[in-house]
Structure 1
Amino acid sequence: MLIIRPIEERDYPALYEIAQESGIGFTSLPVNEALLRKKISAAQLAFATTPTQPGPQSYLFVMEDTSTGEVVGTSGIEATVGLNDAFYHYHVSKVVHASRELGVHNTVDILTFCNDYTGVSEICTLFLREKARKGLAGRLLSKFRFLFMAQHPHRFSETVFAEMRGISDENGKSPFWEWLEKHFFSVDFPTADYLTGIGNKVFIAELMPKYPIYVNLLSKEAQACIGKVHEKTKPALRLLQQEGFKNRGYVDIFDAGPTIEADVRNITTVRRSKAVKVSVSQDFSEQDCEMHFIINDKISDFRACIAPVKILEGGEALISQDTADALLIDTNSTVRLAPCAPPA
């Protein structure tokens, strides 16, 4: 069975391997031992806290195959961004240059440097290892976060966003960054990406142009990247779009990949979810059952999985002993669940 649980110190070797596999452009997992261990420590602290409102908590989870004990994926939630370190984006908007006397009316796209997502929750750090990319594993690794946020709303903002990896090649060459590098930075994309990943963002504020950039002044290759995702990111983008995430014109400052957002209460999985009591059956039968994404209601002992569930007439959820063991619960415990089948 695949379960989701909070990351632990013993998961460091697996996290380091995932950081290596994720490649350039996956900013939230730099290949740096000190930073990765710091992420694990920060996550353990977040799971141990009892905040009454969103703060600097950084929740990092792993997906474990219980049959082997192997960690096959990771996924995270930042309760807020930009409170301790500035969080940058470009916003794509329009300006009009018009002259009635000359009969000229030109609409031009511009990129404006901003910090508009300050204080907003972010879903991030999702990576599923190649060997585990089958069945509903990828969906579980993404969707459980929405159930966690719905179950503990005081820990997160009302809006959540996700930065999608933009276009770059296998060597980390980003057409969008190439233009910025040539005119402003003199630092290549892999280096800029790595510096950001390890928390060194001062150079952004120091070197990034402070005035809006006219898109039509960029190279054709750079213009073509704006709002587009990396080929390997397309499945994740489609999954979030199905959940109701939309782009409001914000893009990443390095590769121009789209940033998408949603109100937590309007996310499809959240709207279809419900918190129910469970009954554990020792002779459980999957007849008349449906597969569900399920989480317990715990924090430090959080668990999530996919399992068959039978909804009883009284509204309780009937589950097997194996499912109860995986979720660290028993009869009368509370879970939050959502059906795996897409809405009709």
Structure 2
Amino acid sequence: MLVLRPVELTDLPQLQRLARESLVGVTSLPDDSERLREKILGSRASFDQDVQHQGTENYLFVLEDLTTRRLAGCSEILATAGPGEPFYSLRNRDFTSASRELNIEHGVSALSLCQDLSAHTLLRGLHIDPPLSRTAYCELLSRARLLFIAAHARRFAEAVITEIVGFSDDQGQSPFWDAVGKHFFDLPYVEAERLCGLESRTFLAELMPQYPIYVPMLPQAAQDCIGRIHPDGQEAFDILEREGFETNSYVDLFDGGPTLYARTANIRSIAHSQRGIAQPGTIIDATGTYLVSNEFLGDYRAIVADLGPIAGQSVTLDAAMCAALKVTAGSPVRLIAL
């Protein structure tokens, strides 16, 4: 059985393996033991804090095979996208110019550096072992974060965003970066993303042009990357799109990948998840597959489970499910159909 749980310091070696295998552009997973150690300690402190309102906490989860103790994936929530510093994006909007004398009005798309999304909650750091892609466990890795937000709503913002990794080729070349960012840093895309993961996106963003970048002046290959998803990021996009997330006018300042946005209260796994009471049982006449979580904080757990009909508030779970979730008879659980 695979279970999603908060990261522990003992996970560091395996977490670094996941970071090493993650997609270029997932800057929240740097392949650096010291940075990952700091991330783990920050996450553990966040789970341990008595938080009454949205702050600067980060919550890092791992997907563990309970039989082999191997980590198969990870994902993260930042309570605030810009904790202690601005969260920079590129806003893609039309600029309109007009001439009364010539009776001409013309709109041109332009990218402008902004901090508009800094106060939102951010989902990031999603990585799963390739054999588990397009399975229920990728749904678990992504959506169990939303069940956690549902259970601990006061810790998070009224809107949630995520950046989907933009297009780069098999050699790690990003046409968008080559046309925009490279002129200001003289760094390859892969190296810029690595520095962003090790240090901060702020110092890179502050060297970006402060004036609008007119899209028609970019090479066609770069224009085609604006809002384009890396093929390996499509599943993450599809899962959240089904949750009610939508693209907007913001894109990533390094690779032009799309930003997804949703009002927290409208997200499917938050708005439509059911609360129930665990009832240990030995026989389950399964009629559907669900994501099931407890409602703990530091001991948060979530699994994929085949369950029988949900009658009222009683949720029948077998012994293995109860053990994985760390629940006993009468414990509150939250669930949603897969």
Report TM bin, short chain. over 0.9
Q: 2 CA distance for matches of 1:313 and 1:9?
A: 40
3-state DSSP of counterpart to 1:247 = strand
Per-residue deviation, 1:248: 1.6
Over the aligned positions, Cα root-mean-square deviation in angstroms equals 1.5
Runs of 5+ unmatched residues, structure 2: none
Cα deviation 1:75-100 (Å, max 9, x = unaligned)? 11111121312210000111122224
- The 5-angstrom pairing of residues 1-344 of structure 1 reads 1-133=1-133, 135-281=135-281, 283-287=282-286, 289-311=287-309, 313-340=311-338
Per-residue deviation, 1:312: 5.1
Question: 4+ runs of 1 displaced by more than 3 Å?
Answer: 200-203, 310-314
Q: 2 CA distance for matches of 1:23 and 1:236?
A: 12
3-state DSSP of counterpart to 2:123 = strand
Per-residue deviation, 1:33: 1.2
Q: 2 CA distance for matches of 1:324 and 1:217?
A: 59
3-state DSSP of counterpart to 2:180 = helix
2:163, 2:259 within 8 Å by CA — same for their partners in 1? Answer: yes
Q: 1 CA distance for matches of 2:110 and 2:164?
A: 20
3-state DSSP of counterpart to 1:113 = strand
Letter in 2 for 1:328: K
3-state DSSP of counterpart to 1:248 = strand
2:92, 2:249 within 8 Å by CA — same for their partners in 1? Answer: yes
Specify whether residues 81 and 314 from structure 1 end up closer, same or farther in structure 2 by C-alpha distance, changes over 3 A only: closer
Per-residue deviation, 1:277: 1.3
Letter in 2 for 1:284: I
- Of all paired residues, the percent bearing the same amino acid is 36
Per-residue deviation, 1:290: 2.3
Q: 2 CA distance for matches of 1:53 and 1:159?
A: 14
Per-residue deviation, 1:183: 3.2
1:164, 1:259 within 8 Å by CA — same for their partners in 2? Answer: yes
Cα deviation 1:57-114 (Å, max 9, x = unaligned)? 1100100111211110101111112131221000011112222432433210011110
Per-residue deviation, 1:9: 1.3
3-state DSSP of counterpart to 1:35 = helix
Q: 2 CA distance for matches of 1:326 and 1:299?
A: 15
Q: 1 CA distance for matches of 2:242 and 2:312?
A: 31
Taking structure 1 as the reference length, what is the TM-score of the superposition?
0.94
Q: 2 CA distance for matches of 1:204 and 1:69?
A: 38
Per-residue deviation, 1:30: 1.1
1:25, 1:172 within 8 Å by CA — same for their partners in 2? Answer: no
Cα deviation 1:205-257 (Å, max 9, x = unaligned)? 44211111111111111111001110111121111111110112000000000
Per-residue deviation, 1:174: 0.8
Count of equivalent residues: 338
1:308, 1:319 within 8 Å by CA — same for their partners in 2? Answer: no
Specify whether residues 134 and 209 from structure 1 end up closer, same or farther in structure 2 by C-alpha distance, changes over 3 A only: closer
Runs of 5+ unmatched residues, structure 1: none
Specify whether residues 210 and 326 from structure 1 end up closer, same or farther in structure 2 by C-alpha distance, changes over 3 A only: same
Cα deviation 1:145-182 (Å, max 9, x = unaligned)? 11110111011111110100001123321111111245
Cα deviation 1:27-67 (Å, max 9, x = unaligned)? 11111111011111111111111100111111001001112
1:310, 1:319 within 8 Å by CA — same for their partners in 2? Answer: no
Specify whether residues 331 and 285 from structure 1 end up closer, same or farther in structure 2 by C-alpha distance, changes over 3 A only: same
Taking structure 2 as the reference length, what is the TM-score of the superposition?
0.96
